Amino acid sequence: MHLVDGMPPARGEGVRLRKPSRVAMLSMHTSPLEQPGTGDAGGMNVYIIELARQLAALGTEVEVFTRAVSSRLPPTAEIVPGVTVRHVPAGPYEDIGRAELPAWLCAFTADVLRTEAGYEAGWFDVVHSHYWLSGQVGRSVARRWGVPLVHTSHTLAKVKNASLADGDRPEPELRLRGEQAVIDSASRLIASTQTERRHLTDLYGAAPSRVDVVAPGVDLDVFRPDGPRPPGGDDRGASDRGPDSGARAARVRLGFDPDTQILLFVGRIQPLKAPDVLLAAAADLIHRDPRRRGRLAVVVVGGPSGSGLERPDSLVKLAAELGIADIVHFQPPVPQEQLADWYRAATAVVVPSHSESFGLVAVEAQACGTPVVAAAVGGLCTAVEHGTSGVLVHGWNPADYADALERILTEERWRRHLSAGARARAAGFGWSATARGVLASYQAAATAVPRALAG
């Protein structure tokens, strides 16, 4: 622990940290090692692992505590020097639904406390919880250790319930109460956008002075129009290959004709993410111009999640009902390097979610130079600059998405304008900046007695 006056504090005192030495990061319901795009794994998984890596690079060690879903998992796994993932035995060794996880909060908390008890006093300087379930654990361990609790919600129940998709279930009262308790007791809250900050203050009564806005990042070395950065970071010649060279080459690598126009959806297949809107919009586009069928492809990269698990074949059936099964391609979730190729290959990426705290897919796509057509909700209004890096659509009428996509597909000048704007927009989001912002939030949390101790 780095101290202002160089003297170690009595345990439990509020102290001002120059920079925390060690952070206990809590991610109970999903492991940062899981492949994003299916089950409960998504943008939060990417956020946690990338943030942890950057914090370690800045000299702050991170231990991530997550629930073990298999007895074959090692108790600990070092990701990079300074980042360790701990698999906590709490509940059955299998994936279980989020509705069942509250029953295992006490077991998870007890194991986290046992781990810390094996260290010297004051081992962790900060607890950083992700999602409300981990926040419940964070309240207990931060109070016991006498350290600040910093919390990132990632999604908010009241926001989700206000914009439910057809066929989706509202978040239960248990989550609403638990989420409120975490927000009330955390020393600091980290919001991804100003919109999320307003949600925290207006819907949950969080004091504005306790909410820090820190945008998530994107790996700009992986998500690039012309492929991963060459060894040594030498980009000479990259700008000479033409704006479409990366897209055409990526299509060939993925098994498509280089002239194919690809509309891409990336994410978990569930009503909240609304991939059905893209399929209906594609059917509309073909209805407007039947000749388009021969050169258009719709690609869905992801797997069923949440309430989507109840109807895992719903999109396959919808494609058949719409008469476009021949042009719709379903791909399982893929690692980031392969995902970047899908973004490069796409003519446009569609993000029609009913709610998004940020919209990492939109930023990743833009970093690859691909325009985004997204719902004008939540963090997507920050991630996408309307008319510059993509198009924001109000509502979920497939015809409105078809209008936006048709212009991108048919007007080359407009598409290139958006592509250039997409790259510029994404350049402002980097994980190193995210880590520095989070460190500043940790510092602010440590300047006063933690609220968990006061309450």
Type of residue numbered 328: V
Residue 49: other Cβ atoms inside 10 A? 24
Distance CA 217, CA 360 (A): 8
Residue 407: other Cβ atoms inside 10 A? 16
- Residue 175 annotated as part of some ligand binding site: yes
- Residue 356 annotated as part of some ligand binding site: yes
Residue burial 152-189, b: 16+ Cβ < 10 Å; e: rest: bbbbbbbbbbeeebeebeebeeebbebbbebbebbbbb
- Residue 374 annotated as part of some ligand binding site: no
- Residue 255 annotated as part of some ligand binding site: no
Distance CA 332, CA 303 (A): 6
- Residue 397 annotated as part of some ligand binding site: no
- Residue 19 annotated as part of some ligand binding site: no
- Residue 401 annotated as part of some ligand binding site: no
Q: Are 390 and 364 in contact (CB under 8 A)?
A: no
- Residue 29 annotated as part of some ligand binding site: yes
- Residue 47 annotated as part of some ligand binding site: no
Placement of tokens 């074949």 in the chain: 313
- Residue 411 annotated as part of some ligand binding site: no
For strand 76-80 and strand 83-88, is the pairing parallel, antiparallel, or unpaired? antiparallel
**Which residue intervals of 242-328 are DSSP H helices?**
245-253, 275-288, 314-322
- Residue 299 annotated as part of some ligand binding site: no
- Residue 41 annotated as part of some ligand binding site: yes
- Residue 36 annotated as part of some ligand binding site: yes
- Residue 442 annotated as part of some ligand binding site: no
Distance CA 446, CA 18 (A): 9
Strand order of the sheet with strand 126-130? 76-80, 83-88, 61-67, 22-26, 126-130, 149-152, 188-191, 211-213
- Residue 364 annotated as part of some ligand binding site: yes
Contacts of 410 by beta carbon, 8 Å cutoff, 6+ apart: none
- Residue 158 annotated as part of some ligand binding site: no
- Residue 44 annotated as part of some ligand binding site: yes
What is the enclosing helix (H) or strand (E) of 380?
Answer: helix 380-383
- Residue 131 annotated as part of some ligand binding site: yes
- Residue 276 annotated as part of some ligand binding site: no
Distance CA 447, CA 222 (A): 37
- Binding residue numbers for UDP-N-acetyl-alpha-D-glucosamine: 35-36, 43, 268, 273, 334, 356, 364
Annotated binding site: which residue ranges?
A: 29, 35-36, 40-45, 98, 131, 155, 175, 268, 273, 334, 343-344, 346, 356, 364, 370
- Known binding-site positions for 1D-myo-inositol 3-phosphate: 29, 40-45, 98, 131, 155, 175
Binding-site residue set for Mg(2+): 343-344, 346, 370
